[in-house]
């Protein structure tokens, strides 16, 4: 008998960062055969402080980025999976409890889980918000049985706890409008940090306990994983742009020049400034002017010292801190500052490493979110469900549905 050959499918992830917009195209044959075909990035325009400052400029920027990756890969896409940065999101815990039956007990089915999760979502979301992710935390049956998957258990009432990531509905609609104006559809919306974890962290590490730290331009997102699920999400309003701004202000330079100096000369090491001799020559209209390396070091160190106490409070304050068996994985452009890994490691007292998204890519940590979004687009993992595995086989699917209907009504 001939094996049916699945056609190749192509998916585009668009990571809408405050500083840089990144698009990737992923080719998918099946879950095991997902290949990254290419990446393209553009400096973000028309989007400031998590809202649109100029929709025409933003649409133009999206158009340039997606066309850039299409040209690079020779693949045409019509829709993108849009990735949101942490500064567009709010994390909130919510819970709900429902009776399973008027009297007596019943076997818990998928319908009951859906119903209680829906109830928890309704109670947790504000009027002007939309749920981007709802990460199930636990279920309780009759106040006692705390379980990750209660399907099949017998009980009278069911409680569910969710961790919600929500975004402002109007902002989301405007972003979607900008994508449409750029000539593309939005297939899904997801949190870029969560998408990055999909490529930067192995599933078994998420099972054993670890964290993903996405240091972007203006925000650092920290996601804690245990038992394969996102158990905690925290945001710190700090990123690589804070370092650039400080260099620009304190050394009286333009932001562009400060950015260049940061990328080529800045280090986050805790070295004594006297050990950093030498000068950096900066081109000015009237010739070259020297800037002491020691001054750059001082500014960077001052910024890092501002950031570290907040980070320490977030990491050590998480209920999952003592479960970080597989350490912390860093992604995002802000994480590329040399020496930052060591400083964070020392401060939070946990192993820290740079996320490696794929071989053959320089600074892969920068693109983890956009690649993850492309993959998610295929895997449709935006609405993650824990413990409840959907069978792939159509016969099994029908059998399970019939079984559930019987349990529900008889
Ligand atoms: N090689 C590098 N060394 C140091 N910093 C870098 C380097 N490359 C990029 N950055 C910094 O990383 C930041 C941008 O990172 P990234 O692209 O992850 O942010 P973003 O996704 O646009 O922002 P956000 O996630 O906050 O919305 C900028 O501050 C940039 O200066
Ligand atoms: Mg980002």
User: Ligand 1: which of 217, 259, 265, 303 to mutate, judged by most atoms within 8 Å of the beta carbon?
Assistant: 217
Domains 90-169 and 206-354 share a fold: no
If you measure from the C-alpha of residue 225 to the centroid of ligand 1, how many angstroms do you get, rounded to a whole number? 24
CATH fit for domain 90-169, picks 3.40.50.300, 1.10.3210.10, 3.30.1490.110, 3.90.79.10: 3.30.1490.110
Ligand number, closest to the Cα atom of 235: 1
Cα 78 to averaged position of ligand 2 atoms, centre (Å): 23
Instruction: Tell me 44's DSSP state.
Output: -
pLDDT of 396? 61
CA distance 92 to 128: 15
Residue 352 CA: distances (Å) to CA of 128, 213, 327, 340, 345:
37, 10, 6, 10, 6
**Spatial separation of the C-alpha atoms in residues 182 and 79, rounded to whole Å:** 11
pLDDT tens sequence for the chain (410 residues): 555 666 788 999 999 999 999 999 988 877 667 788 899 999 999 998 888 999 999 999 999 999 999 999 999 999 999 999 999 999 999 999 999 877 677 889 889 999 999 999 999 999 999 999 999 999 999 888 677 788 888 889 999 999 999 999 999 999 999 999 999 999 999 999 999 998 899 999 999 999 999 999 999 999 999 999 999 999 999 999 999 999 999 998 899 999 999 998 888 887 765 666 677 877 777 777 788 888 899 999 999 999 999 999 999 999 999 999 999 999 999 999 999 999 999 999 999 999 875 545 556 678 889 888 887 766 664 344 333 444 456 666 666 566 655 655 55
Residue range 48-84, pLDDT digits in tens: 888 899 999 999 999 999 999 999 999 999 999 999 9
Q: Determine the Cα–Cα distance for residues 252 and 313; give it in Å rounded to an integer.
A: 32
| Top-tier CATH class for 206-354 | alpha beta
Domain borders along the chain are 90-169, 206-354
CB under 6 Å to ligand 1: residues?
17-20, 85, 216-219, 239-241, 244, 259, 262-263, 332-334, 336-337, 366
| pLDDT at site 143 | 84
What is residue 157's predicted lDDT score, i.e. its pLDDT?
Answer: 92
Backbone torsions φ then ψ of 401, nearest 5 degrees: -60, -45
> With contact defined as beta carbons under 8 Å apart, do 141 and 391 qualify?
no
Q: What is the pLDDT of residue 92?
A: 97
Tell me: the pLDDT tens digits for 264-288?
888 888 776 566 667 787 777 777 7
Please state whether 228 falls in left (phi above 0), alpha (psi between -120 and 50) or beta.
left
CA dist 212 and 192 (Å) reads 11
């Amino acid at each position: 008998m001939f094996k049916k050959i699945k056609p190749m499918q192509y998916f585009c992830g668009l990571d809408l960062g405050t500083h840089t917009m990144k698009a990737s195209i992923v080719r998918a044959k099946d879950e095991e055969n997902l290949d990254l075909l290419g990446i393209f990035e553009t400096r973000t325009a028309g989007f400031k402080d998590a809202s649109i400052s100029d929709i025409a400029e933003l649409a133009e920027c999206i158009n340039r980025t997606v066309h850039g990756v299409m040209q690079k890969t020779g693949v045409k896409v019509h829709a993108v999976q849009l990735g949101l940065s942490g500064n567009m999101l709010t994390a909130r815990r919510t819970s709900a409890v429902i009776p399973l039956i008027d009297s007596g007990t019943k076997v818990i089915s998928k319908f009951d889980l859906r119903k209680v999760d829906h109830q928890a979502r309704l109670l947790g979301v504000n009027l002007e918000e939309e749920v981007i992710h709802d990460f199930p935390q636990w279920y309780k049956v009759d106040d006692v049985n705390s379980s990750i998957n209660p399907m099949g258990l017998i009980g009278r009432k069911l409680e569910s706890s969710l961790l919600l990531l929500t975004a402002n509905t109007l902002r989301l609609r405007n972003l979607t409008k900008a994508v449409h104006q750029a000539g593309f559809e939005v297939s899904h919306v997801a949190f870029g940090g969560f998408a990055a974890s999909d490529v930067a962290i192995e599933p078994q590490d998420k099972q054993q306990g670890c964290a993903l730290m996405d240091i972007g331009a203006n925000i650092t997102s920290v996601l804690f994983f245990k038992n394969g699920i996102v158990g905690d999400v925290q945001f710190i309003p700090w990123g690589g742009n804070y370092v650039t701004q400080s260099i620009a202000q304190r050394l009286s330079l333009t932001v562009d020049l400060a950015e260049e100096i940061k990328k080529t000369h800045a280090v986050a090491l805790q070295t004594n400034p006297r050990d950093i001799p030498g000068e950096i020559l900066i081109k000015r209209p009237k010739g070259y002017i020297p800037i002491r390396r020691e001054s750059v070091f001082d500014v960077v160190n001052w910024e890092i010292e501002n950031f570290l106490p907040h980070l320490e409070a977030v990491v050590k304050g998480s209920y999952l801190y003592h479960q970080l068996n597989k350490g912390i994985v860093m992604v995002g452009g802000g994480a590329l500052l040399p020496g930052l890994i060591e400083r964070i490691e020392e401060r939070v007292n946990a192993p820290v490493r740079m996320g490696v998204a794929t071989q053959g890519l320089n600074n892969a940590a920068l693109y983890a979110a956009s690649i993850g979004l492309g993959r998610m687009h295929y895997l449709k993992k935006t609405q993650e469900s824990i413990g409840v595995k959907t069978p792939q086989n159509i016969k099994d699917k029908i059998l399970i549905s019939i079984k559930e209907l019987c349990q529900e009504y008889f």
